[in-house]
Chains A and B, each alone.
Chain A
């Protein structure tokens, strides 16, 4: 039983904090010689203690800017001028993230926003997958297991956000962190390779590119941790889940729409 008078600190976090203090040589309070990774060790599985999410402030999105899309393309090796999809039409080519312009007909209010896999808590793509290839990790990241994907594309039909693409042709020279190939469906992975490496300090490629452009519209973080930057921002300003009426409880939230 937890005692209400005790400060809210889990055993794991306490031990983690102790280890961090021991590993990083403190030269002054709060100043460390070595940076201590808050990521879990490589041999530990992703845990349901985390729920990774992203908050996108569309008011910071500049019109005509596609830095996030280019950042994702570079990181994951899809699309762009050097696309390794040589024969597919523009509609067939993969699109892990895209820029969408929305406009309220009544008021004329317009916004530009990046749209990608929303990493739902109750993902329809997982519901419809006949093989179990479409899956959600313990920490809420929705992925396609290409090892068992048969390319039926049911998930593409089921996704309300049109977030998934199908690879139509033979590819080569993929990046080791983003294997992808013909006959499989794919979508945003929330840069899962970075999340596994850096934990709460991870910055997905889209967010990194956006920050480099000076817009800084993305906040990545742990929705389960009330002290994370994303949770604090959500508590302060709130966030919109697109098509919240579907009750999917997405990990990706928006501001300013």
Chain B
């Protein structure tokens, strides 16, 4: 009953604000998804394999194209490989932090739950990096930051302390 009253009140409030010409005030309260930061960068100048704006709009096209090329034709380039997405965007098991696809801290789910777009990829594909998997893309994976990687930093990356 209390809930119903609360709902009624918020509806009235929203209606009131709308009638006052203040719909923006309501919209601004919608929280944006918190997308976790990637574990490493593709290069110093570029974070992901394509500029972020392109990835946001077209990542599913890249993935779908790659899936057919790989399975049906045996083309196994790594650039748009789902495995590499996971290796970079999900904490490695060595970090002691297990982030599953159901979690909103999982890179894919952080956005997909927000946008209410259901993905089936992880019914078959692994949602976390394989233990001991360090390397990223052949284009030269770099750790976050500007300094070139040292043995220390590579060790850190393999042990998963890099944020």
Contact = CB atoms under 8 A, between A and B. Distances in A.
B77 A42 contact: yes
A15 to B, nearest CB: 21
Interface stretch (A26-34, A92-100, A175-183, A200-208): A175-183
Interface stretch (B25-33, B49-57, B122-130): B122-130
Interface string A170-194: 1111111001111110000000110
B75 A45 contact: yes
B104 interface: no
Which range holds the interface residue count of chain A? 20 to 34
A137 B74 contact: yes
Given A143-B71, A147-B67, A175 B130 contact: yes
A174 B126 contact: yes
A138 B126 contact: no
Given A174-B125, A181-B123, A181-B124, A45 B74 contact: yes
SS class, residues of chain A in contact with chain B: loop
B124 A184 contact: yes
Contact of A180 (B69, B75, B124, B130): B124
A145 B68 CA distance: 9
Contact of A46 (B68, B74, B124): B74
Given A42-B75, A179-B126, A196-B74, 5 more contacts: A45-B73, A138-B74, A171-B124, A173-B128, A195-B74
Q: 8 shortest A-B CB distances, which residue pairs?
A: A181-B124, A46-B74, A45-B73, A179-B124, A181-B123, A176-B83, A179-B125, A42-B76
28 contacts: A42-B75, A42-B77, A43-B77, A46-B74, A137-B73, A138-B73, A138-B74, A145-B71, A145-B72, A147-B67, A147-B71, A170-B123, A171-B124, A173-B126, A173-B128, A174-B124, A175-B130, A176-B86, A176-B130, A179-B125, A179-B126, A181-B123, A181-B124, A184-B124, A192-B74, A196-B74, A196-B76, A197-B76
